């Protein structure tokens, strides 16, 4: 199949698959229950606080991912957080923790590190997550009383995550020994198996590389605890919305039980898209255990799930959409591109065949505001004998306008916002637009902004003042006037 067509089909398929999953996810929602749960008066401020806490948790997750891969790649916190959120979003619309694979794939794509190494990083994160939840749950049980029937869950979870962590730490602290052990063990079986095993082990060892020092292990542990405290924040802020008292230990307990309940696919008997069912069940069960009325617990579980769901679907959806657009643009570029056949064939043997007559991109007219600003910026009055001062100002203004148009879009927007703010302040102060003010007033204003004490104002006007002075003093008429003046002196 043609490469372009296959790319376009891939994009369309991706969007269709996303739509199908969103429909599946929404299909499982009991909207009547949601509306009932959201009906109590005064719920919304708490609802938004809980969302904010959950979002902060995800940003810290992004930070943790960044730390874990810092030896091999550099990611902005925004990108790292987006990767985490996409993983969670996919987990919420696909069963069997497929999100972890999506997260690893995206991490690999964004950083260039091999997929297996990314998968190791995700695995490490999940192990630390599991242990953080167990620690927080155990602490909550300790404070709430030992009568709560979760000891069994805690012991199993601790054993599973603890063993996994021990293994990871052994690899992280002594990677060479681990590699040597794998090498020895597999070489005896078959050389081919040995090569494959060593290759896979290398990825695993690299993935665990950040955990080679006690300080780094401590950092990841603390960050993981903070992440799950933020997640517990989601539960804390929702408790008063349903007439339950704010209690950190109760929130930690509910958070711990609900999350451990959905943590293991197939193990605790539940893994469904969006965890609809298992999450609610565990949430209700834990709240009832703490003495909450069943009706309030039911509504609580629905709203807590909704808060998580909204964030992940909206955020994750936007990130995926962005990806889709980027892929679409690529596909479009590929589709539009012509073969360069014939381009070189018709050219002389040794010549640059194009490029002597490309147009000047800054030939568009200069905005009147820029002209008025330029008038205020240049010290025209100080230089007598310039025959056509207006031509000089026009030359400088055109140059400034061209420079602004050549800024990247981001800087153009920032500059436009800054100038809008400037105009607004001037309008409020003088009841007139800057351009309508007399030249002397405009000069005073310009000087106070461009050379004043406020750094933001200076930065905003730096482009104008620098380019204005550059073009002004490089104009032949000004240079001549300056030379004459010097000679007179």
Partner 1 sequence: MNSRQPVQALIIGSGAGGAMTAQVLASSGMEVLLLEEGRLWPLSEYGNNCPEGMKKMYRRRGMTPIMGTVPIGYTEGRCYGGGTEVNSGFWHRTPTEILLRWKAQYNLEAAYPKDLEPHFAWLEEQLNVSLYGKEWPASTRIFARGIEAMDWSYQEVPRVVENCESLNFCPNGCPSGAKKSMSRTLLPQAEQSGARVLTNCRVKMLIKQKKRITGVLASLLRADGSEELIRIPAENVFVCAGATETPALLRRSGIHFHIGDSFRIHPMLKVAARFNDEVNSHRSVLPLLQVKEFWPEISLGGAFFALGHLAMLLSENWPATGQQMDNFKTMAIFYVAVRGTGKGTIRSSLTGEDATSIKYDLSREDQWNLSKGLAHLCALLLAAGAVEVYPSVYGLSSINNDIDAIRWLDQLLPKSCLSLTTIHAFSSCPMGERIDRCAADSFGKVYHHENLYINDGSMIPDSPGVNPQGTIMGFARRNAIHFVEEQR
Size of the site for partner 1 (CB under 8 A): 73
Closest CA to 216 of 176, 178, 179, 173: 173
- 304 and 275 Cβ atoms separated by less than 8 Å: no
Q: Report the residue number, 38 or 362, with the smaller CB distance to partner 1.
A: 362
Distance in angstroms (rounded) separating the CA atoms of residues 51 and 233: 9
Q: Residues 159, 163, 433, 479: which binds partner 1 (CB under 8 A)?
A: 479
Range 400-419, binding partner 1 (CB under 8 A): 402-403, 406-411
343 binds partner 1 (CB under 8 A): yes
CB of 308 to partner 1, least distance (A): 27
Residues 20-59 close enough to bind partner 1 by CB under 8 A: none
Look at phi and psi of residue 74 and say left if phi exceeds 0, alpha if psi is from -120 to 50, else beta.
beta
Member of 198, 466, 477, 480 binding partner 1 (CB under 8 A): 466
Say how far apart CA 360 and CA 458 lie, in whole Å.
30
The closest of 270, 289, 290 to 279, measured between CA atoms, is 270
364 touches 34 (CB < 8 A): no
Contact residue for partner 1 among 229, 397, 450, 460 (CB under 8 A): 450
Rounded to whole angstroms, how far apart are CA atoms 123 and 116? 10
Q: Does 109 bind partner 1 (CB under 8 A)?
A: yes
Interface characters, 120-159, with partner 1 (x: CB under 8 A): ----------------------------------------
Q: Shortest Cβ distance from residue 55 to partner 1 (Å)?
A: 20
Shorter beta-carbon distance to partner 1: residue 202 or 423: 202
Nearer to partner 1, 178 or 383 (CB): 383
Minimum CB distance to partner 1 smaller for 31 or for 340: 340
Should residue 1 be labelled a site residue for partner 1 when binding is judged by CB under 8 A? Answer: no
356 forms part of the interface with partner 1 (CB under 8 A): yes
**Residue choice 26, 155, 347, 417 for contact with partner 1 (CB under 8 A):** 347
Q: Which of 24, 470, 477, 480 contacts partner 1 by CB under 8 A?
A: 470
Q: Measured between alpha carbons, how far is 29 from 250 in angstroms, rounded to an integer?
A: 26
Task: Rule CB under 8 A: say whether 215 interacts with partner 1.
Answer: no
| Sole binder of partner 1 in the list 139, 179, 447, 477 (CB under 8 A) | 447
**Listed residue (316, 273, 305, 238) closest to 82, CA to CA:** 316
- Cβ proximity to partner 1, 85 vs 133, nearer residue: 85
Is the CB of 353 or the CB of 417 nearer to partner 1?
353
Q: Examine residue 489 and tell whether it contacts partner 1 (CB under 8 A).
A: yes
Q: Counting Cβ atoms within 10 Å, is residue 388 exposed (0-12), middle (13-18) or buried (19+)?
A: exposed
Which parts of 321-340 interact with partner 1 (CB under 8 A)? 326, 329-330, 333-334, 336-340
341 lies in the site for partner 1, by CB under 8 A? yes
Q: Which two tokens stand for residue 104?
A: 């690893």
Q: Dihedral of the CA atoms 377, 380, 386, 387 (nearest 10)?
A: 70
Smaller CB separation from partner 1, 410 or 429: 410
Q: How far is the CB of 306 from partner 1 (least distance, A)?
A: 30
- Rounded distance between C-alpha atoms, residue 400 and residue 351, angstroms: 35
Gap between the Cα atoms of 146 and 150, Å rounded: 9
By CB under 8 A, residue 353 contacts partner 1? yes
Identify residues 54-93 at the interface with partner 1 (CB under 8 A): 71-74, 76
Residue 106: name the closest of 129, 82, 126, 130 by CA. Answer: 82
58 touches 319 (CB < 8 A): no
* By the rule CB under 8 A, 312 interacts with partner 1: no
Q: In Å, what is the CA distance from 154 to each residue of 136, 253, 281?
A: 10, 11, 18
């Amino acid at each position: 199949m043609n490469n372009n067509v296959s790319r376009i089909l891939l994009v369309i398929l991706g969007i269709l698959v996303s739509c199908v999953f969103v429909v599946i996810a929404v299909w499982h929602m009991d909207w009547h229950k949601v509306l009932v749960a959201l009906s109590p008066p005064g719920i919304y401020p708490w609802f938004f606080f809980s969302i904010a806490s959950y979002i902060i948790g995800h940003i810290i997750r992004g930070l943790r991912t960044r730390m874990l891969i810092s030896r091999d790649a550099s990611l902005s916190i925004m990108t790292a957080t987006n990767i985490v959120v996409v993983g969670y979003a996919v987990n919420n619309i696909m069963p069997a923790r497929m999100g972890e694979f999506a997260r690893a794939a995206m991490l690999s794509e964004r950083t260039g590190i091999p997929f297996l190494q990314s998968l190791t990083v995700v695995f490490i994160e999940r192990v630390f997550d599991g242990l953080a939840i167990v620690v927080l749950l155990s602490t909550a049980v300790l404070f709430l009383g030992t009568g709560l029937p979760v000891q069994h869950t805690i012991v199993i979870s601790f054993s599973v995550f603890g063993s996994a962590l021990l293994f990871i730490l052994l690899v992280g602290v002594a990677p060479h020994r681990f590699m040597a052990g794998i090498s020895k063990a597999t070489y005896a079986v078959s050389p081919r198996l040995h090569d494959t095993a060593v290759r896979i082990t290398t990825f695993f060892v690299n993935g665990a590389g950040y955990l080679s020092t006690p300080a780094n292990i401590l950092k990841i542990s603390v960050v993981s605890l903070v992440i799950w405290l933020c997640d517990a924040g989601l539960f804390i802020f929702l408790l008063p919305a349903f007439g339950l008292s704010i209690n950190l230990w109760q929130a930690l307990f509910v958070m711990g039980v609900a999350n451990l309940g959905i943590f293991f696919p197939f193990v605790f008997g539940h893994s469904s898209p969006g965890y609809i069912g298992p999450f609610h069940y565990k949430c209700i069960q834990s709240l009832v255990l703490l003495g909450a009325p069943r009706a309030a617990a039911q509504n609580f579980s629905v709203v807590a799930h909704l808060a998580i769901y909204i964030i992940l679907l909206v955020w994750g959806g936007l990130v995926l959409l962005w990806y889709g657009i980027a892929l679409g643009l690529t596909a479009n570029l590929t589709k539009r591109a012509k073969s360069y056949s014939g381009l070189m064939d018709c050219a002389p043997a040794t010549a640059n065949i194009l490029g002597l007559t490309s147009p000047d991109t800054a030939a568009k007219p200069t905005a009147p505001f820029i002209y008025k600003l330029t008038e205020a910026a240049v010290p025209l009055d100080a230089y007598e004998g310039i025959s056509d001062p207006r031509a000089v100002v026009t030359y400088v203004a055109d140059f400034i306008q061209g420079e602004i148009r050549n800024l990247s879009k981001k800087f153009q927007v920032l500059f436009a916002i800054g100038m809008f703010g400037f105009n607004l302040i001037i309008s409020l102060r003088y009841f007139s637009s800057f351009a309508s003010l007399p030249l002397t007033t405009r000069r005073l204003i310009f000087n106070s902004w461009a050379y004043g004490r406020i750094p933001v104002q200076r930065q905003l006007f730096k482009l104008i003042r620098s380019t204005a002075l550059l073009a002004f003093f490089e104009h032949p008429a000004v240079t001549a006037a300056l030379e004459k003046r010097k000679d007179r002196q």
